[in-house]
């Protein structure tokens, strides 16, 4: 039997199409798959992310609404059918999540049992114990020959004493549950992200932390090992006692995977007696398993880290020149597996009712008013989007009469004047000459050219349209007359006009167009039905030249801004490369201050290619 533990750092993120839940589980090639940090609430569980053919699944989701604890933790256990289906299952390790109104634990044979040790703890009320299970950090499954704990240990931020005490209470209560099972002759395997690095060899930060061995959490874990009189064996260190660099977690913010600068947080520990019997050489009698035989040594064939699931590969882009590493696919943890020897077969039994396929959310029934309203709001949004897609597009009307400055169009043009035209125009001083005319022309041009749609609304020869440009002394831009429905369509459905129908730029823009003769303009006004196709090539050339000049000017201006910004970023002393800028988030007098440090990935100080020790505050004051 093969068991794997994997902190997935959001289960939904690991199931990006075309990858499905079944294909993801099959890639781990295990009989029992324990996942941590699923980041799912119970209302978010669907068949696509909770149920897979060939597996029975069990979930524990967070129930607390305290700050930072929603969609944060969560564990899930997937058991291959029919060989690894448990006979009983518990959500949480105290059993209090399965109590009825009278305070009794329901479920009978479907529960693992042995709760007395944890429920009778001193200085811990039932409410205190219940809070330990509210964050969805534990699943317990009974597989006959052993009881499996799928754990996600609490993490503690710097100087967070309250959270540190919660972590101590969590593990001390968990220890009592283990002791209750071991007293009843059960064998225990605990896997998961413990958020504990047991020994200095398991952490790259141990050399720089003089209080590494003084941590209360670390001392508690060591007290549970056989070397210190405890019942458990650290299975990985039992097989690989001196392997260095055997890390399972890397800080994604510092890019430390590049230099394998991490920590071993994902652990597998086992306790209990082994199954085989030993024949005494002296008396030729059969003896039961003694202290020299242990479940974590005799029944384990192999245990190792699956580094092929590591995000950083040899072809990944390293951090150089102040640029961050490209976004890597996968979790910031890697899986760890243990291979057990063949276990005694189980008799035929029912699937525990805690299985995900029995949940009302998976079976399609509503659970609460909140979920009902949430689904209803989503359906309403989908209906609105569908109506938008089916709404017919309106084309430009045929120009049969030219009217100067229609009121609706003028209002539309004025609403566009406040928009930023381009990066170049943003840095230019405003001009007053011909301001009204240029703003109207630019706004009309901008309204039709800023759309992202690929559909070009282009009048045909049978449905052509005449545009008239007045001289600077006239009232501005002459446009065809629109009805109110067309005006509304122009603001929401109009894509950009084809270059064959584009307007020439006004005199305030940098173009090569010559001023329009007023006599020619007046003659055009008299003949409303004259076709404008004869003047299209000149207009196209003028507009293309203007746009080319604008893009070139904007590019030069943007390069100047980038150069100015780069000059303000200091160079690191170790590599003479632009630094990366960060913001201090730690509470204290420097909270919110920006600082600069080396942009390379974090690694050992002995490696010259890793991050150097350069540090500088951006400003003297906050």
Q: Which are the catalytic amino acids?
A: 152, 193, 333
Bridge-based pairing of strands 88-91 and 138-142 is antiparallel
Q: What gap in Å lies between CA 127 and CA 125, rounded to an integer?
A: 5
470 assigned to a ligand binding site: no
d(CA 133, CA 75): 12
Residues 276 and 298 sit within 8 Å (Cβ to Cβ)? yes
Task: Give me the half-sphere count of Cα atoms (radius 13 Å) on the Cβ side of residue 109.
Answer: 6
Q: Check if the beta carbon of residue 539 is closer than 8 Å to that of residue 511.
A: no
Six-digit token string for 210: 């003089």
The total number of residues written for the chain in this structure: 622
With b for 16 or more beta-carbon neighbours within 10 A and e for fewer, the 296-316 pattern comes to beebbeebebbeeebbbeeee
Q: Phi and psi for 171 in degrees, rounded to 5?
A: -75, -30
332 annotated ligand-binding residue: yes
Do the Cβ atoms of 257 and 324 come closer than 8 Å?
Answer: no
* CB 129, CB 173: distance < 8 Å: yes
Does residue 193 have a known ligand-binding role?
yes
Q: Which residues pair with 582 in a beta bridge?
A: 595
Q: Is 37 annotated as a binding residue?
A: yes
Contact 591, 621 (CB under 8 A): no
Check if the beta carbon of residue 493 is closer than 8 Å to that of residue 447.
no
Which class for 18: exposed (0-12), middle (13-18), buried (19 or more C-beta within 10 A)?
A: exposed
Residue 557 near residue 549 (C-beta atoms within 8 A)? no
CB 221 within 8 A of CB 35: no
Annotated binding-site ranges for Mg(2+): 7, 37, 193, 195, 332-333
Annotated binding-site ranges: 7, 37, 193, 195, 332-333
């Amino acid at each position: 039997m093969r068991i794997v533990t994997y902190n997935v750092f959001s289960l939904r993120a690991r199931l990006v199409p075309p990858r499905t839940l079944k294909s993801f589980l099959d890639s781990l090639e295990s009989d029992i798959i324990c996942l941590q940090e699923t980041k799912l609430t119970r209302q978010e569980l669907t068949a696509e992310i909770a149920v897979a053919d060939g597996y029975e699944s069990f979930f524990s989701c967070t129930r607390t609404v305290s700050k930072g604890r929603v969609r944060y933790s969560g564990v899930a256990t997937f058991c291959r059918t029919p060989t690894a289906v448990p006979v009983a299952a518990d959500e949480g390790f105290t059993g209090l999540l399965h109590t009825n109104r009278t305070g009794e634990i329901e479920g009978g044979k479907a529960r693992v049992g042995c709760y007395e040790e944890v429920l009778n703890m001193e200085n811990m009320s039932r409410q205190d114990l219940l809070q330990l299970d509210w964050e969805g950090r534990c699943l317990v499954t009974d597989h006959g020959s052993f009881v499996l704990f799928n754990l996600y240990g609490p993490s503690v931020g710097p100087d967070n004493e309250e959270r540190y005490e919660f972590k101590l209470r969590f593990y001390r209560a968990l220890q009592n549950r283990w002791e209750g099972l071991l007293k009843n002759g059960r064998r225990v395997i605990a896997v998961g992200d413990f958020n504990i690095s047991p020994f200095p060899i398991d952490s790259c930060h141990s050399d720089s932390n003089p209080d590494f061995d003084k941590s209360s959490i670390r001392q508690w874990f060591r007290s549970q090992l056989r070397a210190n009189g405890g019942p458990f064996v650290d299975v990985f260190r039992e097989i690989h006692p001196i392997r260095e660099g055997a890390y399972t977690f890397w800080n994604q913010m510092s890019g430390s995977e590049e230099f394998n600068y991490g920590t071993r947080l994902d652990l597998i520990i086992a306790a209990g007696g082994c199954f085989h019997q030993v024949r005494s050489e002296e008396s030729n009698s059969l003896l039961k398993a003694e202290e020299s035989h242990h479940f974590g040594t005799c029944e384990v064939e192999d245990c190792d880290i699956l580094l092929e699931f590591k995000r950083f590969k040899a072809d990944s882009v390293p951090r150089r020149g102040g640029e961050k590493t490209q976004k890597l696919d996968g979790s910031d943890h890697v899986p760890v597996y243990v291979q057990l020897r063949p276990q005694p077969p189980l008799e035929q039994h029912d699937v525990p009712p805690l299985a995900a396929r029995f949940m009302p959310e998976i079976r399609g029934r509503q659970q609460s008013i909140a979920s009902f309203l949430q689904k209803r709001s989503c359906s309403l949004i989908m209906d609105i989007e569908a109506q938008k897609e089916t709404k017919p597009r309106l084309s430009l009307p045929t120009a049969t009469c030219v009217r100067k400055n229609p009121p609706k169009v003028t209002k539309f043009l004025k609403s566009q004047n406040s928009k930023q035209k381009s990066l170049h125009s943003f840095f230019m001083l405003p001009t007053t000459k011909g301001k009204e005319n240029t703003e109207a022309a630019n706004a009309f041009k901008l309204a039709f050219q800023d759309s992202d749609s690929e559909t070009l609304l282009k009048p045909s020869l049978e449905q052509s349209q005449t545009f008239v440009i007045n001289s600077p002394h006239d009232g501005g831009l002459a446009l065809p007359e629109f009805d109110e429905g067309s005006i509304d369509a122009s603001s929401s459905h109009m894509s950009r006009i084809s270059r064959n129908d584009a307007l020439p730029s006004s005199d305030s823009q940098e173009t090569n167009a010559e001023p329009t003769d007023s006599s020619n303009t007046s003659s055009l006004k008299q003949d409303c039905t004259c076709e404008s196709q004869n003047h299209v090539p000149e207009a196209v050339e003028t507009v293309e030249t203007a746009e080319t000049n604008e893009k070139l000017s904007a590019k030069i201006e943007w390069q100047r801004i980038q150069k100015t910004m780069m000059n303000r970023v200091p160079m690191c002393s170790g590599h003479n490369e632009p630094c990366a800028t960060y913001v201090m988030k730690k509470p204290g007098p420097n909270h919110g201050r920006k600082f600069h440090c080396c942009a390379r990935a974090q690694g050992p100080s002995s490696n010259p290619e890793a991050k150097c020790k350069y540090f500088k505050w951006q400003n003297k004051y906050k």
